[in-house]
Structure 1
Amino acid sequence: MDYQSVYDAITGRHSVRAFTPQTVEKDLILELLNVAARAPSGTNCQPWQVYVVTGDKRDQIVAEVCALHDAARLDASINEQHTESYPYYPEKWISPYIDRRRENGWGLYGLLGIQKGEKDKMHEQHQRNFRLFDAPVALFFTVNKVMGIGSKMDIAMMMQNVMIAAQARGLATCPQAAWNHYHKVILPIIGAGEDEELVCGMAVGYADTSATVNTFITPRVDASEFTHFVE
Structure 2
Amino acid sequence: MGDPRAPAAVLAGIDLSAVPAPAQSVLTTILERRSVRGFLPTPVPRETVEAILAVASRAPSGSNIQPWKVHVCAGPVRDAICREVLAAHDAEAADPAAGEPHRDEYRYYPEKWRDPYLTRRRDLGWALYGAVGIARGENDKMHRQRGRNFSFFGAPVGLVFTLDRDLSVGSWIDLGMFMQNVMLAARAYGLETCPQQAFARYHRILRQHLAIPDDQIVVCAMALGLPDPDEPANRLVSEREPVAAFGSFHGF
TM-score (norm 2): 0.90
From 202, 212, 222, the equivalent of 1:202 is 222
Give the secondary structure class of the aligned counterpart of 2:115. Answer: coil
State the alpha-carbon separation in 2 of the partners of residues 215 and 168 from structure 1: 21
Which residue is 2:6 aligned to? none
Q: CA deviation at 1:81?
A: 2.7
- After TM superposition, the structure 1 = structure 2 runs for residues 73-152 of structure 1, keeping only pairs within 5 Å, are 73-152=93-172
1:224 aligns with 2:232: no
Q: CA deviation at 1:207?
A: 0.3
Asked whether the equivalents of residues 72 and 160 of structure 2 are also in contact (C-alpha less than 8 Å), the reply is yes
State the alpha-carbon separation in 2 of the partners of residues 178 and 20 from structure 1: 21
Which residue is 2:30 aligned to? 10
Give the secondary structure class of the aligned counterpart of 2:94. Answer: coil
1:156 aligns with 2:189: no
State the alpha-carbon separation in 1 of the partners of residues 101 and 41 from structure 2: 32
List gaps (5 residues or longer) in structure 1.
Answer: none
Q: CA deviation at 1:52?
A: 0.8
Asked whether the equivalents of residues 153 and 223 of structure 2 are also in contact (C-alpha less than 8 Å), the reply is yes
CA-to-aligned-CA distance 1:60-98 (integer Å, 9 cap, x gap):
100001111111112112233312211111101111010
Which residue is 1:28 aligned to? 48
1:65 aligns with 2:65: no
State the alpha-carbon separation in 1 of the partners of residues 126 and 203 from structure 2: 28
Which residue is 1:180 aligned to? 200
TM-score (norm 1): 0.98
Give the secondary structure class of the aligned counterpart of 1:81. Answer: coil
CA-to-aligned-CA distance 1:39-66 (integer Å, 9 cap, x gap):
0111111011101100111011000011
State the alpha-carbon separation in 2 of the partners of residues 208 and 24 from structure 1: 14
CA-to-aligned-CA distance 1:182-217 (integer Å, 9 cap, x gap):
011112210111211101100000000121111111
After the TM superposition, list the runs of 4 or more consecutive aligned residues in structure 1 that deviate by more than 3 angstroms: none
State the alpha-carbon separation in 1 of the partners of residues 230 and 79 from structure 2: 24
For 2:58, give the aligned amino acid.
Answer: R
Which residue is 1:212 aligned to? 232
Asked whether the equivalents of residues 91 and 99 of structure 2 are also in contact (C-alpha less than 8 Å), the reply is no
Percent of aligned pairs sharing the same letter: 46
Q: Alpha carbon RMSD of aligned pairs, Å?
A: 1.0
